[in-house]
A and B are shown apart, each in its own frame.
Chain A
Amino acid sequence: MKSIIVFFVFLFSPLTIAEANLKIFCSAKANSCLWLKERMYELHGIKSEMIVKSSGEVLNIIETGAENFDIWWGGTGDTHLKAAESGFLAPITLKRKQDQLFWSRHLLDISKGRSVGVYAGILGIIVNKKVLSDLKLDVPLCWSDLGKTTYKNQIVLGDPNTSGTAYTFLSTLFQIYNGEKIRQILPEIKQNIRKTTNSGYQAILPLIEGENAISIAFIHDVISLLDKYEDLDVIIPCEGTGYEIGAASVINSSKNKEKAINFIELSMQPNIQNLLSSDIGLQIYSNINTVKSGAYNDEKYFNLINYDFFTYSRPMVRKRTLEFWNRLD
């Protein structure tokens, strides 16, 4: 019995974990996280433990104290920026910063060197055409259409408090509609919501099942499903849409900061990103020499707003935006 206890104490001692594995919160899709873990070991011999959680959840954990974790990989940039501004992230210096595209470097700049953009994804309205036609409803073409009373109980989306996707949706609307207009549109949309889910990706599942007609998600999360589920379709709203920059950061309390930075830099090379971009995650990846995304191969997806990551990641703005949403009932 004693030997068993000694074994477990050894197994979970911080020293063992720190030296053997990097502990990573991964807020990207689960299969991307798993592939990243395996590929990094295969190419560079780096062992890691991946905990898959939505970006909002990771932010909450970090804010309450995430001991023994080294890296936060993936998840919407605004949550990383908020953690950076609150002092939970360590500075990163990239050896080949010039290989990264403008948006990746931009995130590094506005986070004061604490988060770097790894991938990007575009937000869209995902519809189930069959449910819409059964209910004799039109396909929504704009964000403002989502507030129509005919879509009552037809929208499923992530909870903006925990889902980066849903927060991106909220801040996109705030950036498109200012002042009084947003006060009018958002309550109308909230009245049409059937339920909210923990993460943005989970919001697609009831749509596939035909439980509801409309969900809000990142396009790369659903593009691979379009062939399998013919009823699904992606709509780019007429007002233009927002996008996420998935970031990677080193947690301030990490005891393996150098290793962690190295992991992040290596994860931003084409030999890691190529397959993630073309086949697994399907997001737009940050290295200039990485192949193009398998999802965003059409010009129509790039009807984007000039998204202000800095403002909507500020703790006060985020708090105000979420409070505004939470108060609507």
Chain B
Amino acid sequence: MLNQSKSNTIKYYFLLSFFIISVFSVIFFTIQMLNYDRERKLYIEKSTHNSLLFAAMELMQISQNLTGLDQRRSASLYAKEYEKVESEYNDVLSILNSLNEEDYQKEVKNLLVEFSEFNSEIKVRNDYLYRRNNLKVILENSLDLSTSEENSNLLNIIKLSLESKNMLALGEYYRDLSSAFSMSNIPHAEREKIQEISFGSMNAFDTMEKIISVNVILNRHLNDLIYKTDFLRATISKTITRDDKIPKNESHYYGYILIAIILIFITYLYTANKNLFRKLYIISSKIKSDLPISYIRIHHKQNRTKTSKEKKFDETLFNIKLSKIILDKKKSNFIVVDDENFPFCCSTSIFDENFKNLENEALDTKILTASIYDNHYFLSKKTPQNTAIFDCDIAFSVDIPNENKTILFLNSEKDERLRQNDRLNSLASISGTVAHDINNMITVIVSSLSILRESKYLTLHSDRKVIDSALFSADKSIGLIDRLLTFARCKRLAPEIVDVNALLEGLYEVISFATNDNVTVEYELSKQPLFTYIDPGQLETSIINLCLNSSNAIGESGFIKIKTEVNSINQLSIIVEDNGHGIPKSIQGKVFEPFFTGRKQGEGHGLGLSMVYGFVTQSGGSITLDSQVGKGTTISISFSLKKT
């Protein structure tokens, strides 16, 4: 009896020590979980902060691309893009303001001031370049028509000096001209003309001195701007990477230890004291309900409670594996499928796009509130009777280790649109530079040809014919370049308040004339007048371009419908719809690129849609394309609505 009492006392102390260890473990585990929860909340806050900083960096990069600072492109392009740069940087400022990043704000403000100074210098340079081009035209004409060799030699020196890139070469031309001029015996009138061009009011040398000086200053500022923008971005980037650590949930290790202790304890208690077991069971249940992740059932057709095994599985999957992979990949569109390709869970956007309508019929759905990027829907298996095929565009997939499940990351339309916009922006930058330079050259060609054509020395009709043909081709090139400039958003627009319906009505005859005879043009204009602030000439050209494209897409016969309406976000939309052959999905992303054409070689330049795209974007509007092969194409352009 005594032995039994002693044995009970030992058992009691043993149980008590187990109980104390368990209580401490539970407290420790709870603290760990709370810590983890706090760290995660901080991380989420930090990552929002970081993603905004990242957005600021991206905007700075966009500005660099716009100005061509990164590629040291022609500064004249910068002058045209300056307003956009200013607006990008104002966006950066407002982001930094919302984050209370005062130091960064100060630096961005300084950058803005420097961009503005840079812009004024470019304007000065452009004025001088314009003067130089005029001088070149005058010179070219004087050279061609000159009969005196001496005169032509002098003009050649001035011509070369107008191409000087540095002070030293310019000085040598000046020396050459001065000495040749003092020795020449050319007639008085021609002498005066050369004097006027080189040293007089036109002053070729003075112009070139200014251009070279400003070029040096511009180059200096360019280096400065590149350095400062890069430095600021690098500083922000360091801030982001320093704080961008995902908190690790190490509490589950403590959880395992705790569970092990509790299991041993339970096993022991089960045989020793059932009451105590019950009490401990209650405590353990209470702790479990304090877990940071909870489920909210939004719809449950079979009204079945999940088994604890299933809950545990979902919880582990979400907490440890799924969220980590999603965070790593930084892609918010995903769907998790099991080994039979049945959906298991997905992101809200995927759910809304594809499963929402099926919710009441075949799916068992619930939502996890403790999400990181998005709300993640859990789906139960579909019933065989209601099997639906989910057509998805998979970007890449990741297998979840040891779960027989795969995460499919999908390309969303939004991602695709962003990629397409990036590509078009890059193309616009390149096209703009090229087009602008060619435009300058062609202007000189056309001016020279026009003067030459009117010259009294030109007596033969055949000569005029040759010049006319050259002028015709040059005019055609100007047209092409003009469209390319529009695509590159380098065209100077003349916006005004326009009633779009009235404009379209006035355009009806032109469209009917321009489109093929087998095409019927229909209007479906809104009843009330719709006003917007836009360049009416460019808008007309854009509509005609869209109609011409539609007309070309229509085979034997068909219709083009032009509609105007106020869309869901209170914008004015002009919709051009046709029942032509449609555009295959694979090339829909390319139709706005310059020189992309679905027509035969020689039938089109592929600049129509790119011009429309450039104009709409430059006017602050948006353009969308919806096309199905065999059914037709709908292009909608939207602008902000003005109330008059």
A307–B223 Cα distance when bound, in Å, is 14
Q: In whole Å, how far is A75's beta carbon from the nearest beta carbon of chain B? A: 17
Question: CB within 8 Å of B: which of A285-317?
Answer: 288-290, 292, 296, 302, 304-308, 310-311
Q: Which of A243, A288, A310 is in CB contact (< 8 Å) with B168?
A: A243
Q: Which residues of A contact B (CB under 8 A)?
A: 101-103, 106, 120, 122, 178-179, 243, 284, 288-290, 292, 296, 302, 304-308, 310-311
Check B220 against A102 for contact (C-beta < 8 Å): no
Q: Kindly list chain A residues whose C-beta atoms are within 8 Å of the C-beta of B205.
A: 102
Q: Kindly list chain A residues whose C-beta atoms are within 8 Å of the C-beta of B230.
A: 179
Q: Kindly list chain B residues whose C-beta atoms are within 8 Å of the C-beta of A284.
A: 168, 171-172
A284–B167 Cα distance when bound, in Å, is 12
CB of B347 within 8 Å of the partner chain: no
Check A306 against B212 for contact (C-beta < 8 Å): yes
A71–B316 Cα distance when bound, in Å, is 84
Q: Kindly list chain A residues whose C-beta atoms are within 8 Å of the C-beta of B209.
A: 102
Check B165 against A304 for contact (C-beta < 8 Å): yes
Check B169 against A304 for contact (C-beta < 8 Å): yes
Q: In whole Å, how far is A172's beta carbon from the nearest beta carbon of chain B? A: 12
Given contacts A178-B226, A306-B216, contact A101 B174 (CB under 8 A): yes
Q: Which of B167, B178, B220, B226 is in CB contact (< 8 Å) with A103?
A: B167
For the complex of A and B, 3 pairs with smallest distance between CB atoms = A101-B171, A103-B167, A304-B166
Q: Kindly list chain B residues whose C-beta atoms are within 8 Å of the C-beta of A296.
A: 172
Check A103 against B171 for contact (C-beta < 8 Å): yes
Question: CB within 8 Å of A: which of B97-145?
Answer: none
Q: Kindly list chain A residues whose C-beta atoms are within 8 Å of the C-beta of B171.
A: 101-103, 120, 284
Check B175 against A306 for contact (C-beta < 8 Å): no
Check A310 against B216 for contact (C-beta < 8 Å): yes
Q: Which residue of chain A has its CB nearest to the CB of B165?
A: A306
Check B174 against A308 for contact (C-beta < 8 Å): no
A122–B175 Cα distance when bound, in Å, is 17
- Most chain A C-beta atoms within 10 Å of own C-beta, residue among B168, B175, B220: B168
Check A304 against B168 for contact (C-beta < 8 Å): yes
CB of B380 within 8 Å of the partner chain: no
Q: In whole Å, how far is B81's beta carbon from the nearest beta carbon of chain A? A: 21
Q: Kindly list chain B residues whose C-beta atoms are within 8 Å of the C-beta of A243.
A: 166, 168
Q: Which of B166, B170, B212, B220 is in CB contact (< 8 Å) with A310?
A: B220
Check B167 against A106 for contact (C-beta < 8 Å): yes
Q: Which residue of chain A has its CB nearest to the CB of B178?
A: A288
How many B residues are at the interface, by size bracket? 20 to 34
**Given A106-B167, A308-B220, A310-B220, 9 more pairs with CB closer than 8 A:** A102-B174, A103-B167, A106-B213, A284-B172, A304-B168, A306-B166, A306-B212, A307-B166, A308-B216
Check B168 against A103 for contact (C-beta < 8 Å): yes
- Most chain A C-beta atoms within 10 Å of own C-beta, residue among B166, B174, B179: B166
A302–B169 Cα distance when bound, in Å, is 6
Q: In whole Å, how far is A255's beta carbon from the nearest beta carbon of chain B? A: 34
Q: Kindly list chain A residues whose C-beta atoms are within 8 Å of the C-beta of B167.
A: 102-103, 106, 306-307
Q: Which of A102, A289, A290, A292 is in CB contact (< 8 Å) with B170?
A: A102
Q: Kindly list chain B residues whose C-beta atoms are within 8 Å of the C-beta of A306.
A: 165-167, 212, 215-216, 219
Q: Which residue of chain B has its CB nearest to the CB of A305?
A: B166
A76–B174 Cα distance when bound, in Å, is 23
Q: Kindly list chain B residues whose C-beta atoms are within 8 Å of the C-beta of A311.
A: 220
A289–B215 Cα distance when bound, in Å, is 27
Q: How many A-B residue pairs have CB under 8 A?
A: 62
Between A and B, 13 residue pairs with Cβ closer than 8 Å are A101-B174, A102-B205, A106-B167, A284-B172, A288-B178, A290-B175, A292-B172, A292-B175, A302-B166, A302-B168, A302-B169, A306-B165, A306-B167
Q: Kindly list chain B residues whose C-beta atoms are within 8 Å of the C-beta of A102.
A: 167, 170-171, 174, 205, 209, 212
A305–B176 Cα distance when bound, in Å, is 21
A224–B172 Cα distance when bound, in Å, is 21
Q: Kindly list chain A residues whose C-beta atoms are within 8 Å of the C-beta of B172.
A: 284, 292, 296, 302
- Most chain A C-beta atoms within 10 Å of own C-beta, residue among B171, B179, B215: B171
Q: In whole Å, how far is A119's beta carbon from the nearest beta carbon of chain B? A: 11
Contact with A along B266-285 (1 / 0, CB 8 A): 00000000000000000000
Q: Kindly list chain A residues whose C-beta atoms are within 8 Å of the C-beta of B178.
A: 288-289
A307–B165 Cα distance when bound, in Å, is 10
- Most chain B C-beta atoms within 10 Å of own C-beta, residue among A103, A120, A178, A310: A103
A288–B177 Cα distance when bound, in Å, is 10
Q: Which residue of chain B has its CB nearest to the CB of A304?
A: B166
Q: Kindly list chain A residues whose C-beta atoms are within 8 Å of the C-beta of B174.
A: 101-102, 288
A60–B591 Cα distance when bound, in Å, is 65
A285–B161 Cα distance when bound, in Å, is 18
Q: Kindly list chain B residues whose C-beta atoms are within 8 Å of the C-beta of A304.
A: 165-166, 168-169
A310–B223 Cα distance when bound, in Å, is 14
Q: Which residue of chain A has its CB nearest to the CB of B230?
A: A179
Question: CB within 8 Å of A: which of B207-234?
Answer: 209, 212-213, 215-216, 219-220, 223, 226, 230
A305–B164 Cα distance when bound, in Å, is 11
Q: In whole Å, how far is A22's beta carbon from the nearest beta carbon of chain B? A: 28
Q: In whole Å, how far is B459's beta carbon from the nearest beta carbon of chain A? A: 38
A181–B170 Cα distance when bound, in Å, is 30
A179–B223 Cα distance when bound, in Å, is 9
Q: In whole Å, how far is B180's beta carbon from the nearest beta carbon of chain A? A: 12
Q: Which residue of chain A has its CB nearest to the CB of B166?
A: A304
Contact with A along B173-194 (1 / 0, CB 8 A): 0111011000000000000000
A305–B167 Cα distance when bound, in Å, is 10
- Most chain A C-beta atoms within 10 Å of own C-beta, residue among B167, B174, B176, B213: B167
Q: In whole Å, how far is A321's beta carbon from the nearest beta carbon of chain B? A: 13
Q: Kindly list chain A residues whose C-beta atoms are within 8 Å of the C-beta of B212.
A: 102, 306
Check A120 against B223 for contact (C-beta < 8 Å): no
Q: Which of B165, B179, B219 is in CB contact (< 8 Å) with A308?
A: B219
Check A178 against B223 for contact (C-beta < 8 Å): yes
A148–B560 Cα distance when bound, in Å, is 65
- Most chain B C-beta atoms within 10 Å of own C-beta, residue among A292, A296, A306: A306
A101–B205 Cα distance when bound, in Å, is 11
A306–B218 Cα distance when bound, in Å, is 11
A122–B167 Cα distance when bound, in Å, is 12
Check B168 against A122 for contact (C-beta < 8 Å): yes
Q: Kindly list chain B residues whose C-beta atoms are within 8 Å of the C-beta of A288.
A: 174-175, 178
Q: In whole Å, how far is B475's beta carbon from the nearest beta carbon of chain A? A: 35
Q: Kindly list chain B residues whose C-beta atoms are within 8 Å of the C-beta of A179.
A: 226, 230
Q: Which residue of chain B has its CB nearest to the CB of A309?
A: B216
Given contacts A288-B174, A292-B175, contact A120 B220 (CB under 8 A): no
- Most chain B C-beta atoms within 10 Å of own C-beta, residue among A102, A122, A179: A102
A4–B165 Cα distance when bound, in Å, is 62
Q: Kindly list chain A residues whose C-beta atoms are within 8 Å of the C-beta of B166.
A: 243, 302, 304-307
Q: Kindly list chain A residues whose C-beta atoms are within 8 Å of the C-beta of B215.
A: 306
Check B168 against A120 for contact (C-beta < 8 Å): yes
Check A101 against B165 for contact (C-beta < 8 Å): no
Q: Kindly list chain A residues whose C-beta atoms are within 8 Å of the C-beta of B216.
A: 306-308, 310
Q: Kindly list chain A residues whose C-beta atoms are within 8 Å of the C-beta of B165.
A: 304, 306
